[in-house]
Amino acid sequence: MPYSRLYLLLSRRWWLAFLLMGISFVVFGLASLDLLHTFSANLEFLTTYRWDAVREGALWQLGQLILAGYAAAASYVVFKLCEKVLVERLAVDKRKGTDS
């Protein structure tokens, strides 16, 4: 299975993978912090007050919450990619070409 250019770049520069993993971990934490609670409160506000809530910007906030959810998911994917690169780098013995 051929690897992507990003994977190969991170494989050659383990320090960049480690740095990017840390940044994506922090971004994931900040983006997902209390996201579910705020999302449910926003939906409750919209269903209770309907058009008044829309006029107050609840629909705009709902869009922002959805984007924050996607940002958290993207950060998680970057974190997992970096984790895979670093774990494989530690697990594979380059001298023998095998992992045993």
Return the pLDDT at 31.
87
Q: How many domains does the chain divide into?
A: 1
Q: Is residue 3 part of a domain?
A: no
5: three-class secondary structure by DSSP:
helix
DSSP 100: -
Return the pLDDT at 72.
95
- Cα 19 from chain centroid (whole Å): 15
**pLDDT tens series, the chain, 100 aa:** 788 999 999 999 999 999 999 999 999 998 888 898 999 999 999 999 999 999 999 999 999 999 999 999 999 999 999 999 999 999 986 766 555 5
Q: Is residue 64 part of a domain?
A: yes
Taking 3-state DSSP, the helix, strand and coil percentages for the chain, each rounded to the nearest 5, stand at: 80, 0, 15
Return the pLDDT at 98.
54
Domain hosting 59: range is 34-91
Q: Is residue 61 part of a domain?
A: yes
**CA angle, residues 19, 74, 90, in degrees to nearest 5:** 40
Q: Which two tokens stand for residue 47?
A: 């269903």
